Structure 1
Amino acid sequence: MKNAALKFYTLNEIANYRIHGRTDESQYPLPVFFNGGGIEVNVTGKELWIELESIYKIHEMWIAYEVNGELVSRQMLPEGRSKICLFRNMNPNTVKNVYLFRELQAMTEERDHQLLIWGMESDGEFCPVKEKTYKLEFVGDSITSGEGTYGAQTEEDWISMFKSCSHSFPYMVSKAINAEFRAVSQSGWGVLSGWDNNPDHNVPSRYEKICGFEEGRSAGKSGADKTYDFAGWTPDAVIINLGTNDASAFREPKWHDWHSKREFKQYTNPDGSYAKEDVQRLENAIGDFLHMVRKDNPTAHILWAYGMLGHELSGVIKEAVAKYKAGSEDRNVGFLELPDTPEEKVGSLRHPGEKSHGYAAEVIVSYLEEQLICQK
C-alpha cells in the first residue's frame, strides 16, 4: 500500500543535506560527476526515495548507498529518470543517515554521460548532517577509480559493472578516519601521458576544472568545464596515485594524431632502461603538478602514494618529489610506496581487487594518522 504521507521535495526544498564530490551546486538537477560523489541526508520517517536521471548510451551508470554507515545496495541504473527506494518500513521516529554515491568514474570515452539528482520523497523530516572530521581529495587513474574491484579474476570486459567506489581505497581510507572525500580519477591516464603515450590524457591538464573529463553537450550544460572553486572545499590532504600508466607508456608504441600530425613517445634504451631525457620530462611533469596542487590547496598535506600495479617508477617519482621539496621548500609533502598486488589479490581486468585495496588503505591510513590526526 502506498504511503499517503510521502511528499516529494526538490533539492531546493530540502533544508538539510550534504553534497559529496566536485560539482556545480548552482545546477538543478544536481550533476554528480565523479566516483564517490552524491548526496547525504539525515532523515526521520518510515520511507525515503530518491529520483535520479541517468544519461548514457554504452556505459551504464552504477550507484551504491549506505544506511547508517553500512553499505546496503549497489545497482545499475536504467537510462532516463527513475525513483529508487533507499529504505522502507523503518522506525519513523529514529534519524537514519543515508549516503548515496556514484560508483562509476567520469567516462571520457562516452560523450553525454551523466548522473543527475532531481529530488527526494519521504514522510519524515530532514535533519542537519554532521560534518566529518577530515576532508581528503584523491587524484589518480583506474586504481583510484576502483577498476577491477568487482567481478571474477577471469573477467576481461571493460564495462561499468567492474568499476566501483565502494570497494576502492579512497572509500576505505575515508571510512577508517571519518573523512569526507572527493575523487578526481580517470582510467588509463597519467601525470605526463596516458598508457598509450597520448599526451592529452594527463590528469593535471583537467585538474582545475570541476570535471575536465566530461566533454559532451549535457556535461557542458551541467557545468563540468567550469573552473573548480578550490576555496569552497579545503582538503586536509591530497593523495595522488599516478604513474602506473606513465610506466606503461615506455613499453607502448608511439602515439600519433592523424589529424594534427602530432606524435609522442616515452622511450627506453636498448638495454631496457628508461631514456634519460624522457625520465627528466616525466620528473618535470611530476614537479609541475605538485606546484599546481600546492597552489590550489595551500594548507593540505600532499601525499604521492604510488604502487599496487608494480613499482617501476618508484625511484623516479621519489626523486621528483624530493626535487620539488628542495626547490620549493615545501615540507608538507610526502612519498609513499603502496604494496604491490599479489596474484591472490588481483581482481577483474587484471587490476587490484578489493583485498588489495584494503591492504593499501591500511598503509595510507597509518601514514595519515601520523600526518593529520596528531595535528588536529
Structure 2
Amino acid sequence: MNLLSKLTFLPPCNQVNHSYQFKWSASGFQFAFIGEYITLQITSHHTLYGPVILAIFVDDELFQKIDLKEGSHAYTITFSKREIMHVKIIQITELQYGYFELEDLQTDGEISKWDKPSNSILWIGDSLSAGYGLEADTTPLVFNTHYEDCTHAYPYMVSQLLNVLPIIVAYSGNGILSRWIPETEDKPNDEDILPSIFPYNISENPSWVIINLGTNDASFTRGISTREQRFQELYINFIQKLKIKFPNAKFLLCYGLMEESLLSSVQKVAVETSSLFLRFDTATEKDGFCFASHPNKTSHINATRTLINFIRTHNEESL
C-alpha cells in the first residue's frame, strides 16, 4: 500500500514522478500516527554550506532534527508514545542551500490524515523570513545551514500563533531589483531575483500575502533616486502580478527590522498598489544580533507581536 497518499503535504510542494519535492522553508508533510517507528526514503540535494535540515514535531513540540545526507537514504524515526500522535516534518533550511524529495514511507504502525489549517498566509521575503543566522551568535565567519531555522523567524511564529498554514517563500540575500552586493560593486545582481523565481503555481488561496523585501536592494540603491524609482516600479509590477494570482488576499508590505533607507519607497509602493503597510522597529545593539549582524530571536519575537496585533485588528475591521 502506498502510504504517501495518507500524508497531508505542506506547500509549496511539487510531485515529480512518484516522489514529492520540497524546496522552500517550512514545506513538508504531516500525518496522524500510532506506532513505534517510521522509515522515510529521502533524496537530498544540498550545497557546500551544509546539509538540508528537517525538523520533526510531535504534537506541536520539537521532537528531533535530521541532517540529510546527499543522495537517496533511509531515515528511521522511533517513537516512545503508544497513543495517537500528530507528526509534522518540515524543511527548516531554505531553497538556495538545498532541497529534498520524499520517495517512500514505511512503518510498523498506522498512519491517517491530519488536515492542514483551512486558512493560510503567504510570506515572501529574504533572510529575515528564512530565519537566517538565528541559531548562531555574531562570532562565526562562514555561514553553515545549522545556523538557520525558519521556525524561529516571525513568519512561522505568527502563523503558529494564529493557527494558519504558513507558505514561506524566502531566499536570503534576495530582493526586487538586486540581491545584496558589497560596497565595492556598482551593478545590480539580479541572478535568480525573487520575482523571477517565485513559485507562481502555488494552488492555495491565502487570506494574507505579507511581503518584506528591500533590505538587500538597499545595498544597490544607496539613496540614489533613479535606482529607488526603479525599485518601486519593479516592486509594483511584482505585486500587481501577485494580486492577479491571489485576488482575495489582503496585501501587507513590511519594512524595517534591519535597515530603513528604502522605507519611504516601500510606503509609496503600498499606496500605489492599495496594499497595507507596517513599519518594524529596527534592531539595535541594545536588542542584540545573531550571525552576520542579523536581528536575533528577541527581535523576531517582537516583530511577531507587532504583526499579530496588526493582523487581528485588520481582520476585525473587515468583518
Q: Same fold judged by TM-score > 0.5? A: yes
Q: Secondary structure at the match of 2:151?
A: coil
Mapped pair 1:125 → 2:113: no
Change in CA separation of 1:341 and 1:85 when aligned onto 2, cut-off 3 Å: farther
Change in CA separation of 1:375 and 1:133 when aligned onto 2, cut-off 3 Å: farther
Distance 2:192 2:174 in 1: 5
Contact 1:14 1:126 in 2 (8 A): no
Change in CA separation of 1:26 and 1:53 when aligned onto 2, cut-off 3 Å: closer
Q: How do residues 217-228 of structure 1 correspond to structure 2 at under 5 angstroms?
A: 228=200
Mapped pair 1:315 → 2:242: no
Note the residue ranges of structure 1 that are not aligned, 5 or more in a row. Answer: 1-8, 211-227, 252-273, 326-332
Amino acid aligned to 2:308: V
Q: Which residue of 2 aligns with 1:49?
A: 39
Distance 1:85 1:339 in 2: 43
1:73-103: CA deviations, max 9, x gaps? 2232222233334342311xx2211111111
Note the residue ranges of structure 2 that are not aligned, 5 or more in a row. Answer: 182-187
Amino acid aligned to 1:303: L
Distance 1:175 1:340 in 2: 23
Q: CA deviation at 1:117?
A: 0.9
Distance 1:137 1:345 in 2: 28
Distance 2:214 2:246 in 1: 21
Contact 1:172 1:361 in 2 (8 A): yes
Q: CA deviation at 1:374?
A: 6.4
Q: CA deviation at 1:191?
A: 1.1
**TM-score of the pair, normalised by structure 1:** 0.77
Amino acid aligned to 2:201: D
Q: Which residue of 1 aligns with 2:241?
A: 292
Mapped pair 1:229 → 2:201: yes
Q: Secondary structure at the match of 1:50?
A: strand
Q: Secondary structure at the match of 2:25?
A: coil
Mapped pair 1:115 → 2:100: yes
Q: Which residue of 2 aligns with 1:278?
A: 227
Mapped pair 1:68 → 2:39: no
Q: How do residues 285-364 of structure 1 correspond to structure 2 at under 5 angstroms?
A: 285-325=234-274, 333-343=275-285, 344-364=287-307
Distance 2:109 2:315 in 1: 37
Q: CA deviation at 1:26?
A: 5.0
Change in CA separation of 1:13 and 1:174 when aligned onto 2, cut-off 3 Å: same
Q: Which residue of 2 aligns with 1:202?
A: 193
Distance 1:132 1:374 in 2: 22
**What's the C-alpha RMSD, in Å, of the aligned pairs?**
2.0
Distance 1:166 1:85 in 2: 23
Distance 2:17 2:209 in 1: 26
Amino acid aligned to 2:63: V
Distance 1:372 1:72 in 2: 33
Q: Secondary structure at the match of 1:285?
A: helix
Q: CA deviation at 1:201?
A: 4.5
Q: CA deviation at 1:234?
A: 0.8
One of 67, 75, 87 as aligned partner of 1:84: 75
Which stretches of structure 1, 4 residues or more, deviate above 4 A after TM superposition?
A: 373-376
Q: Which residue of 2 aligns with 1:368?
A: 311
Mapped pair 1:98 → 2:87: yes
Change in CA separation of 1:81 and 1:75 when aligned onto 2, cut-off 3 Å: same
Contact 1:193 1:201 in 2 (8 A): no
Mapped pair 1:170 → 2:155: yes
Change in CA separation of 1:42 and 1:324 when aligned onto 2, cut-off 3 Å: same
Corresponding pairs, count: 311
1:204-255: CA deviations, max 9, x gaps? 1222xx3xxxxxxxxxxxxxxxxx434x21111111010101111134xxxx
Higher Cα radius of gyration: 1
Contact 1:52 1:82 in 2 (8 A): yes
Greater mean deviation of Cα atoms: 159-168 or 169-178: 159-168
Q: Secondary structure at the match of 2:29?
A: strand
**TM-score of the pair, normalised by structure 2:** 0.90
Distance 1:355 1:24 in 2: 34
Distance 2:17 2:249 in 1: 28
Distance 1:26 1:305 in 2: 34
Amino acid aligned to 1:128: K
Greater mean deviation of Cα atoms: 24-33 or 38-47: 24-33
Distance 1:26 1:375 in 2: 40
Identity %: 23
Mapped pair 1:240 → 2:211: yes
